[in-house]
Structure 1
Amino acid sequence: MIKSFGANLVRVRLWHNPTWTNYSTLSDVKRSIRRAKNEGMNVLLDFHYSDAWTDPQTNIVPEAWRPVVKYSDILADSVYNYTYRILGHLNATNLLPELVQIGNETNNSIMVADNADLIPTNYVRNTKLFNAGLQAVADFNRNNAKNIKTVLHVAMNPNDAMFWVANHKKYGLKEFDMLGVSYYPQWQDYTPAQLGEFASNLYSTYGVRLFVAETGQIWTRAWNDQNINLMSKMCIGYPNTPCPQLQKDFIVEIKEALLANGGAGYCVWEPFWVSADNQTLWGVGSNWENVAFFDFNNNLLPHSGIEAYGDFNVKVTFEVNMWNAGSETKGYITGDFTDDGFGNWQIIPMKQAAEGSSVYYFDTYLCRNQTGKYYFLSDSTWTSQEYIGGYKQDRYYNVNTSDKWQKFAKNFGEE
């Protein structure tokens, strides 16, 4: 499905020996990689080096390696041999990934016996373990005439991520190709424009490209089960009005920021995690159905984040001069692109073009040749809808340009 919208990469998680689930085992990973390869897509293999989830709050060493967790040289040898062996096995079955991620959201100490050992970060030990994984990929590439790219991964704001790289470089971190980041408005409080600055700074400082390994934006704050949703915040600078269109806008802005600043690409996580009756570590259902690309009936949401993969999006500016409504009146907009995913239009505040200006605008990314309806309002209530020719009526838009930007400019209450 995502390939049909323009995606070309699948990111697959590998746990070491997850006895508690049948997911993310080697056999499960092979099944997923085979599906991706059959569709002609590239694959990023994410080595967690754990038997379960790893993130900034947990990074437990695989049980098989627990006896050597205090012996970093032996543990590094285990990392090297395991990484090399997995790549060799995948190569033999024509399932070799194009990218390998060494660890997942490795903000703090990695492969620890207990999460109490995560902080303070042991940069010396971390570097030794990262280097073991990086060397395994480098040796595999050399011995097999391959060119697998390497990714390290953190869930941090830009300044903290730059500090993280610097501290590991200080202790001899080997070269790697990309720094993966998790970029979620719930936990990383910066804009896509700042992401672009981060990408440029990272490459100019270290020659490393920025890869958004995980991202997502909510389309609703509603729930479809009793499993607590993890995300509720909108990205900074966005209207506090979740909808599928704003989910798409966020992902498109990430894509554009990376393209303009030498970034490597992005993956959305996890757009297919809809509510179901399956059991997870956190309960029955999904913690993420309000971030998925699907409505609560498991139908693909119209004009949601899945459209960001394509090259058919046009930046559309809706502009209104509110002078006719009074010099102090602000601009608001509604339309089919504000649909909340349940068939209801929402009112979104517009941005003022300049201090003291009566002109307001709203930017969004619509599909080329998309048509629809909208109108302006003078406040955040439905009774403030503009009258055009003495009547309340919809305006119409038609994104009929071959360019990447189109503007619809009107005076409030006029044709």
Structure 2
Amino acid sequence: MNHKQFVLLVLVWSLFSFSHCKEDETDNTVVDPPEEEKGRDLTGFYLGADLSYVNQILDHNGIYKDGGVVKDPYTIFKDHGTNLVRLRLWHNPAWTKEVYGANGTQLYNDLYDVEKAIKLAKAQGLSVLLDFHYSDTWADPQNQKIPAAWQDVRDINILRDSVFNYTRKTLLYLDGKGLMPELVQLGNETNCGMLYTDAPEGFPACNVCNGAWQQLGTVLNGAIAAVKEVTATSAVKTKILLHVADPKNVEWWFDNITTQGAVTNFDMIGFSFYPLWHTTVSPDQLSDKIASFRSKYSKQVMILETAYPWTPNGDDGYNNQFGSGTPVTGFPYTRQGQADILRKITQEVLDGGGIGVIYWEPAWITSSMKDSWGTGSSWENCAFFDFDGNTIDAIDFTKQKY
């Protein structure tokens, strides 16, 4: 064999060996994608949006777009993966009509406005969380005003019956329309309780910051009894949530309401987490907190409100609630920053074994709607829409591979 023949033989053998090695590598090997690419099964996990203002915005020149095309907002949220709509209910919010003066035509966030919203949400196949504020106006950690209809109550048992009857009547009405909510929230951000702000002398105020755990427990147990009575004959077996603001308050509040208040017959613990306001617990600590709550109380856990700005700027003369302070480290006030922190929060809830995340008022864009403090929106820089009404990145937090 001469040199040329030897070289040729080596080349042929090399090509033969290489081709067989490639066949062996590809023909019989099945490679699973990495776990992080598979994503978790989110069946049963609530990816929610509080759309309480939407009907009023639509009535006052608000326009929603998706990809530049004007669309119904309930459809937009469904198309982007939202599976739950949260709606607040006020007892008799006459002021929502009065702020428009002679141009006022109807009440908003009353039973009939909520009925309309539930119908529109359910038409899209969305579940509904009904948020009873037990007030004619906003109920939150700073205000828990008594409905005008209950101002003359002086006995805790009569107050309990008032709450029971109102809750029962509301749910019976909705159930009769085929609009029974899948979830109900009894009270909104009830850190110090409810039905106590500017309480008249002799009113059985349920302020737990003054030690009234037993009184609050009596009222909450009345509301729970009403839900249980209606769900006993309803096709929808509605779950019950209780709600406080800021995860730092969860253990103090639920320790006391379940013991001193004797309130135990509920299904879920809900809390608000606004990372720019609730700074004692960082986003990185949420999963551990949620896992601890689940273990301690044997209840499901859910973030009922969260939000973050995508810009520090505004689109109207109504001062924004967020955007002037320092952003959370790693999450600038940009579209990407808003999307990233929402995905981070959702991942933490999943890691802790929580059951859902609801973004508060992602559709509160600017329009000619009014409230007691301004015209337009104090939240348009936290919405899931830009200043032209088009959807932005954060609305797709529902489609992340968690």
Specify the TM-score bucket, using the shorter chain as the normaliser: 0.7 to 0.9
The corresponding residue for 1:6 is 81
The answer to whether the aligner puts 1:238 opposite 2:330 as a matched pair is yes
Match of 1:74 among 153, 158, 168: 158
Pairing 1:60-209 to 2, within 5 Å after superposition: 60-68=145-153, 70-112=154-196, 114=198, 118=207, 119-144=209-234, 146-158=236-248, 160-171=249-260, 172-189=262-279, 190-209=281-300
| Counterpart code for 1:100 | V
The 8 Å contact of residues 5 and 306 in structure 1, kept in 2 or not, is answered as yes
User: Which residue type is aligned with residue 38 of structure 1?
Assistant: A
- Distance verdict in 2 for CA 1:71–1:227, change over 3 Å: same
- 1:366-413 superposed Cα distances (whole Å, 9 cap, x missing partner): xxxxxxxxxxxxxxxxxxxxxxxxxxxxxxxxxxxxxx7xxxxxxxxx
Contact 2:144 2:196 survives alignment (8 Å): yes
Distance in 1, Cα, partners of 2:169 & 2:370: 31
* Aligned alpha-carbon RMSD (Å): 1.8
Q: Hey, what does 2:43 align to over in structure 1?
A: none
Equivalence map 1:373-388=2 (5 Å): none
Could you tell me whether the CA contact under 8 Å between 2:327 and 2:333 is conserved in 1? Answer: no
| Alpha carbons 2:175, 2:234 under 8 Å: kept | no
Matched, 1:276 2:367: yes
Q: In structure 1, which of residues 256, 278, 285 is the aligned counterpart of residue 376 of structure 2?
A: 285
Q: Does 1:220 align with 2:311?
A: yes
Secondary structure at 2:95 match in 1: coil
Residue 15 of structure 1 contacts residue 51 of structure 1 at CA under 8 Å; is this kept in 2? yes
Counterpart secondary structure, 1:196: helix
| Larger-Rg structure | 2
Deviation, structure 1 residue 263: 0.6
Amino acid across the alignment from 2:253: W
Higher relative contact order (CA 8 A, sep 6+): 2
C-alpha distance in 2, partners of 1:163/1:44?
Answer: 25
CA distance in 2, matches of 1:235, 1:203: 30
Amino acid at match of 2:255: A
CA distance 1:112–1:66, shift in 2 (3 Å) = same
What TM-score results when the alignment is normalised by the length of structure 2? 0.73
- State the Cα distance separating 1:235 from its structure 2 match: 6.0
1:360 aligned partner: none
Structure 2 counterpart of 1:42? 127
Report the Cα offset of residue 121 of structure 1.
5.0
Give the partner amino acid of 1:56.
Answer: P
Q: 2:93 aligns with which of 13, 18, 22?
A: 18
Runs of 4+ aligned residues of structure 1 deviating over 3 Å after TM superposition are 115-119, 143-146, 233-237
Structure 2 distance, partners of 1:144, 1:300, is 37
1:236, 1:90 → 2: CA distance?
41
Give the letter aligned to residue 139 of structure 1. E
Cα distance in 1 for partners of 2:326, 2:80 equals 24
**Does residue 254 in structure 1 map to residue 254 in structure 2?**
no
State how 1:285-304 maps to structure 2 within 5 Å.
Answer: 285-301=376-392, 303=393
- Counterpart position of 1:316: none
Partners of 2:259 and 2:327 lie apart in 1 by 33
Question: 5+ unaligned residues in a row in structure 1: which ranges?
Answer: 314-403, 405-415
Partner of 2:29: none
Inter-partner Cα distance in structure 1 for 2:397 and 2:235:
34
Report the more deviating stretch, 281-290 or 224-233.
224-233
Q: What is the rounded CA distance, in whole Å, between the counterparts of 1:35 and 1:92 in structure 2?
A: 16
Which deviates the most, 28-37 or 219-228?
Answer: 219-228
Matches of 1:225 and 1:215, distance apart in 2: 23
1:191–1:237 CA contact under 8 A, matched in 2: no
1:137 shift after superposition? 1.1
Determine if contact 1:275/1:286 at 8 Å carries over to the other structure.
yes
The secondary structure found in structure 2 opposite 1:277 is coil
> How many positions carry a matched residue from both structures?
308
Partner SS for 2:94: coil
Flag structure 2 segments of 5+ consecutive residues without an equivalent. 1-75, 97-106
**Preserved CA contact (<8 Å) 2:246 2:274:** no
- Distance in 1, matches of 2:375 and 2:145, equals 24
Report which of the two has the higher share of helix.
2
The residue aligned with 1:51 is 136
